[in-house]
Structure 1
Amino acid sequence: MAMKDYSDEFKADAVALYESTPGATYKSIAADLGINRATLREWVLRDRERRGAAAPSAGGTPAAQAGQTASSADPDERIRQLEARVAELEASERKLATERDILRKAAKYFAGGDQLVSRFQFVADHRDAYGVKRLCEVLGLNRSSYYKWLSGRKARASRQSEDRLLAERIREVHDESGGAYGSPRVTAELRAKGLRINEKRVARIMRTFSITGIRLRRRVRTTVPDPAASQVPDLFQRDFTATEPGRKYMGDITYLPLAGREFLYLATVLDCFSRKVVGWSIADHMRTGLVADALQMAASTRGGLDGAVFHSDHGAQYGSRAFADLCDQLGVTRSMGSVGTSADNAACESFHASLKRETLQGARDYGDAGTCRRTVFAWLARYNTRRRHSANGHLSPNEYERRHHAAKLTLAA
C-alpha cells in the first residue's frame, strides 16, 4: 500500500532527486519512488515557485652421455671419438637453445596465468617453426590432447562469439544496477527478459570479462546499549520471515560517512515478508527522534501498525522510554535480540551492508551531506520498486507483494 500522506522530508528529497538527476523525467523518477507522476510534478513546481525559479521544459631431456672412450694408442681413433663427442654436445646445445627460445616466446601467452588453453594456442601458432612434437615436449603437453583441442576450434570459436554477445547483455544489466549486481541477480534479470541461461555460465562470463559486483566494506559500530532500559523479550529468535506483509518488522541504524570524518545516520524499518523498506529517516544525530521518525513513516506507508511486532537491537534509541511510548501509541509490540549479538538482527545488518556497498561503490565517503542524502534516498526508492532480492525469488519487494495479493484474490474468487 502506498503512502497517502507524505512527510515534508520525503517531498523535499523527491524534489532534490529529480532536480539533481541529469536528463530526468517526471515519469522515470516517479516510477523509482513509487508515486504518481502528477504528484511529483506538483511538488517540483511548488518548490520552484517557492524559490522563485521558472519551471523549465520537461622439453625434452638432453641426449644421454656417450660411454667412456675406450683406451687406445691410435691417435686417429682418439680424434674420431672426440669429434663424435663434440658433435653430440653441439646437438644438445642446439636443442637447449631451441627450448630456451620456445619458452621466451611462450612467456607472453602466460602473462595472465599459465592456462592449458594458452599452451595449446601457443603450439598452434608456432608449430611451423618448431614442430608440434618439440613444442609439446617443452611445454609438458600430451600431443593427443593438443590435436583434440585443435579439432574443436570451430565449435570453440562459435562459443566464444556467443560469450562476447552475452557479455554485452550482462554488462548492460550490471551497469543498470549501478555496478552492484553479482551473478545471481544478473541471471534473474536476464531470465526476466526472456533469456534461458544458468547462473554458472553467467558467473564464468563475468569472471572472464572482469565484470564484478561491489564488495563489502568494514563495519563501524553504531549500537550503544542503554543499561537502564527495561528488558524486552526476543520474539523473533532469528526468524526474519513472515507469512503476510504488515505483521513483522525489523529496524536498525547505520552510519553514512561524509568528507572530513563527519557522518549522517540512517534509521530504517523493513517488512520481514518482502524486505520492503516501509520507513526511513536520515539525520546528523542518533537521538531517539531518528528511529521514531522512521517508525512513523512506516505507519504512514502501511496505513497503521496496530498488532505488528517490531524487532531491533539493544541500541539506546530503541530502548528509550520515548520510543516505547510511541510503540504503545501505534499498537506495536517490541522485540529485541541479545546484547552484543549482531546475528539477532542479521537481516537489517545485511540490508545496510548492501546499501553502502552499492551506493559508495568502493569510495571512502559520500562527500557532502546533500549528495549523501540524495544518493541514499534514490537507492532506497529504487530498492522497493526495481531491485531484485534473493529472499523474494529475485523479485523486487513491491512486485513480490503484488503477486502475493493477486494470488490471495485468485484463491478468494
Structure 2
Amino acid sequence: MIWDQGLSVGQVCRDMGLGETAVRRWLAQLDAEQSGQAGIGKPLTAEQQRIRQLEAENRQLRQDNDLLKKGVGLLCPRTEMTYRCIAQLQEKADNTALLCRLLGVSRSGFYAACSRRGEPARVCPTSTHLRAAFAASGRCYGSRRLRAVLHAQGLRVGRYRIRTLMRINGLRPVWRRKFIHTTDSRHGLPIADNVLNRHFTPATANAAWVSDITYIRTRSGWLYLAAVLDLYSRKIVGWAMAPNMPAELVCSALQMAITQRQPPAGLIVHSDRGSQYASEAHRALLSRHGLTGSMSRKGNCWDNAVMERFFLNLKRERVWQNDYANHAEACRDITDYIVGFYNNVRLHSTLGYLPPTAYERKTAVQHPIEVSGIT
C-alpha cells in the first residue's frame, strides 16, 4: 500500500481526496482482522469465541491458584501444616507431585517431614494390590512382572514406584542356591551335531524343543526331573520324574511331549551330551517319529540356556521355598508349578509378559496355519 512506502496517512488522504477519519478506521479494521480479531463491524467467529472463552477461564484459574497460595500462606504460615495438609489430601488425590506443586513445597521436603514423624512417605492404595499380586505369584515376582500385573488390572504404576512400595511393605523374594552335576558326558556313545546353534526364537510352534535333567532335594533323597520345552512359547510340553536318572526318564518326558503336541517330522530336539540323551533308546525314539537330534558343545551350558533358565525359575520360585518330605510330595508340587503356574499364569518377559498358553492362543488366532498342532 501507499502508506507502507513511507507516506503519512494525512498526505495520502490529501493526494487521493479521501477522508482521513475513514481511512484510519479502515486501517484499524485491517489490523484487527489480520491479527485474528473480529474487526470493526464484523462478528466473532465460533473459533474466536471459543478462544476468548478459554482465555477467560485460564485467567480465572490463575487468579484462583494465586488466591489459594496466598490463603495458605496466611492461614498456615508453618510449612509443617502444609505437609500435613498434603498427607490428608493424598487420600483423595493420589499425586504427591501435583499437591506439592500447588501448595508451593518440594517433594523432598515433604518426604523428609514424613520420615521425621516416623510415617511412611506415602500411603498408596496400590500397596494392597501389590501385596496381593506378590502373594499370588508365590512371592517370586520382581518389580517388572509386578508392574505388568498391576497394569493388567488397570493400575498405572511405574517400576521404580513399585520397587519403593516393595521395600516399604517388605516384599522381597528370598532364594537359596544349591548345585549338583547331573550331566555325564564321559561316554563313548554317538554325539549329535549342534543343529540348534542357539537359535532360541523359532518362527512357529513345534519347530524346536530343548530338554534337560535337573535334581530336586527331598528328605527321602534326590528326585530327578526331565523336562521338554517348546522354544516358540517357552511352554513345558513334557516332563517326567524318578528317583534315578536312567534313559527311560528322558524318553518318558519326550514321549509325553510327542503325545501332547503331535509334532511334524524334522522337529529339532536339543539337549546336552548326557548319556541318557545319547542312549540308543532316546535315539530310537527320535528316529521313530522323524525328529532331529541336536546336542550342545562339550561343557557349554549356554547352548541350552533356555532350559537352564526354566530350571532356575522352578527352583527359585517353588522348590527352594519348600522342604519336601518324600518324592510323592515333590512330584505333586512340581506338577502343580508346571501346569497351574508356569504354563498358564506366570508372565514371561520374552513373550510380552504373557503366559505360554495365552501366547500360543493369541498367535494361533493371528497365524492359525503356522502354529497348528498346538494342544
On whether the aligned pair clears a TM of 0.5, the verdict is yes
TM normalised by structure 1 equals 0.60
Q: Which residue of 2 aligns with 1:295?
A: 254
- Spell out the pairing of 1:228-247 with structure 2 (5 A cutoff): 228-247=188-207
Question: Which residue of the other structure, out of 326, 330, 333, is the alignment partner of 1:372?
Answer: 330
Q: Which residue of 2 aligns with 1:258?
A: 218
Aligned length: 265
Alpha-carbon distance in 2 for matches of 1:150, 1:201: 15
Structure of higher CA gyration radius:
2
Question: Which residue of the other structure, out of 354, 359, 373, is the alignment partner of 1:400?
Answer: 359
Q: Deviations over 1:207-239 (max 9, x none)?
A: 222201243513211111142121311112222
Alpha-carbon distance in 2 for matches of 1:150, 1:359: 40
Q: Alpha-carbon deviation of 1:170?
A: 0.8
Q: CA RMSD in A?
A: 2.8
Query: Aligned partner of 1:189: which letter?
Result: V
Query: Aligned partner of 2:178: which letter?
Result: R
Alpha-carbon distance in 2 for matches of 1:244, 1:410: 10
Structure 1, unaligned runs of 5 or more:
1-120, 125-146
Bigger relative contact order (CA 8 A; separation at least 6): 1
Asked whether 1:219 is paired with 2:179, we answer: yes
Q: Which residue of 2 aligns with 1:277?
A: 236
Query: Aligned partner of 2:330: which letter?
Result: C
Alpha-carbon distance in 2 for matches of 1:395, 1:149: 36
Q: Deviations over 1:349-393 (max 9, x none)?
A: 110111111113445x42211211110010010211111112111
Alpha-carbon distance in 1 for matches of 2:156, 2:107: 28
TM normalised by structure 2 equals 0.65
Alpha-carbon distance in 2 for matches of 1:408, 1:214: 40
Q: Alpha-carbon deviation of 1:155?
A: 11
Structure 2, unaligned runs of 5 or more:
1-79, 84-104, 371-375
Alpha-carbon distance in 2 for matches of 1:214, 1:360: 12
Q: Is the 8 A contact 2:176 2:320 kept in 1?
A: no
Q: Which residue of 1 aligns with 2:141?
A: 181
Asked whether 1:381 is paired with 2:339, we answer: yes
Q: Which residue of 2 aligns with 1:49?
A: none
Q: Deviations over 1:259-296 (max 9, x none)?
A: 15x11110000000010000000111100000000001
Alpha-carbon distance in 2 for matches of 1:347, 1:153: 43
Q: Is the 8 A contact 1:216 1:354 kept in 2?
A: no
Q: Is the 8 A contact 1:256 1:366 kept in 2?
A: no
Query: Aligned partner of 1:294: which letter?
Result: A
Q: Do the aligned partners of residues 151 and 265 (structure 1) sit closer, same or farther apart at CA in structure 2, a change above 3 Å counting?
A: closer
Q: Is the 8 A contact 2:210 2:231 kept in 1?
A: yes
Query: Aligned partner of 1:384: which letter?
Result: N
Q: Which residue of 2 aligns with 1:171?
A: 131
